[in-house]
Homo-oligomer: A and B are copies of this chain.
Amino acid sequence: MDKVNLGAKLGTFDAIFSPKIVARLNDYKIAVVKTKGEFVWHKHDDTDDFFLVLKGRLRIQLRGSEDVVLEPGELFVVPKGVEHCPCADEETHILLIEPAGTPNTGDAGGPLTAQEETI
């Protein structure tokens, strides 16, 4: 029954592209992640993907659509099955919401795939 201060949680780690779970909502994970640079093109065939920018600026490249650029206080839900690649020029902090067990790299796998970790 503890609240979560997102800034305080983000202050506990430095790793880029390494989501940290801070809360759970039913069978969903609520995570914070730090990004900088380009992630990897991937998609999630079974779920939408929620992004809310807390700090910085996130460009979400979308296969077949224009990029979506998010600043703090802006959110975007990538529809299931849509290939996307998040990208940030500066260090950018994001709130992510997905079903627990959803891999961060979707169908792409590879070295940026992170284990689920709760902080």
Q: Which residues of A contact B (CB under 8 A)?
A: 1-7, 22-26, 28, 30, 47-48, 50, 52, 54, 62, 65-66, 68-70, 73-77, 79-80, 95, 97, 99
How many angstroms from the CA of A74 to the CA of B47 in the assembled complex? 25
A74 and B4 contacting across the interface, CB-CB below 8 Å: yes
B77 touches A50 (CB 8 A): no
Tell me which residues across on chain B come within 8 A of A69, comparing CB atoms.
3
Q: Please state if B6 and A74 are interface contacts (CB–CB under 8 Å).
A: yes
Do B25 and A74 have beta carbons less than 8 Å apart? no
By the criterion CB–CB under 8 Å, are A30 and B73 in contact? no
Whole-angstrom distance between the Cβ of A62 and the nearest chain B Cβ = 7
